[in-house]
Amino acid sequence: TDSFIAASVNGTNFDMADLRRIESGSLGTWRFNPETPPLFSAATRFPEGFSPIESGWRLLELPHAEDSQTMTIRIVDEQGRPLSDVKIFQNHVYLPDGAPADGRHKIKNHYYFTDERGQATLSWSGTSVDLRVWVEKAGYVPLHAMWAADSQPDDHEIPNNYEMTLSSGTTIGGIVQDENGAPISNAFVEIENLSVLEFYAADPTQPVRRPLHSRWLAGGGEIVTDQAGRWRATNVPQGSKLDLRVQISHANFATNAGDEGIPPTIDEFRREAAIIVLEPREEVKRRKW
């Protein structure tokens, strides 16, 4: 058929904008037009033989039916334009509804993606104890914000709406080699921005700062060296005084410790000329024993 199965609740059909405002479980099936953004709900009934994932569709994140509280986050660029497809991770410690003040906490970990308006709605139930949010999009500096009861005086003031501005990232890169200068491919690159650690120190007497630059710029296997041993990251903050820790891991080589020899300079990273040498794993083992 030309269109997908209709979503109807009490005789009312819903378009894509409506779907973002309806809690999961509140309706049976959904309507999707092939010309709308490639999103689908876990409750969607597709025509037989149609695979949404293989066809490039993306799972639509909606509030859980039992969740009673929400915060809508809007992400814009430096010109104030909304950014779609921004990934937002919610790590949330909360006290369930009806639980005593000293009751057992629960944790909600959930991913969301912003829509064409740059918006995504986070949801939770009960009393918030510690809400942490990470925001990232390729080519932009990732951000982090938190509302924590134990370390921030305004922890109870989780807003209904919150806006973040993502700044364009700068590029760093380098080459991973073995001791003979041969390139090492398929090595994983982990990048930690140590410059932000001082801002993460919890001090309830100080004004709350949010959002902050994320500590981790790469670490989930998203950056891998190519056949020439090269790698690059495009989400790095501006500045010549960044303190970055770049760690390389590979199945056949020992991970660079970062405390031996002279590490590459930020200038070398920005010129994508930073060379990191890895030793064979077995050789390192023999030397230690």
**pLDDT tens column, 215-247:** 999 987 889 999 999 999 999 999 878 899 999
- Strand pairing partners for 249? 188
Report residues of the chain scoring pLDDT below 50: 1-38, 40-43, 61, 259, 289
Contact 28, 12 (CB under 8 A): no
Preceding peptide of 142 cis, ω within 30°: no
246-272 burial code (b ≥16 CB/10 A, e <16):
bbbebeebbbbeeeeeebbebeebbee
Q: Give the other-Cβ count within 10 Å of 282's Cβ.
A: 11
Residue showing tokens 């303190």: 243
pTM above 0.75, yes or no: no
Q: Delimit the domains of the chain by residue range.
A: 1-62, 70-167, 170-288
DSSP 3-state of 198? helix
* CATH fold match for the domains 70-167 and 170-288: yes
pLDDT tens profile 97-147 = 777 777 788 888 999 999 999 999 999 888 888 899 999 999 999 999 998
| CATH number corresponding to 70-167 | 2.60.40.1120
Homologous superfamily assigned to 170-288 = Carboxypeptidase-like, regulatory domain (2.60.40.1120)
Q: Which residues contact 246 (CB under 8 A, 6 or more apart)?
A: 174, 189, 190, 191, 192, 258, 263, 264, 269, 274, 276
Q: Which helix (H) or strand (E) holds 102?
A: none
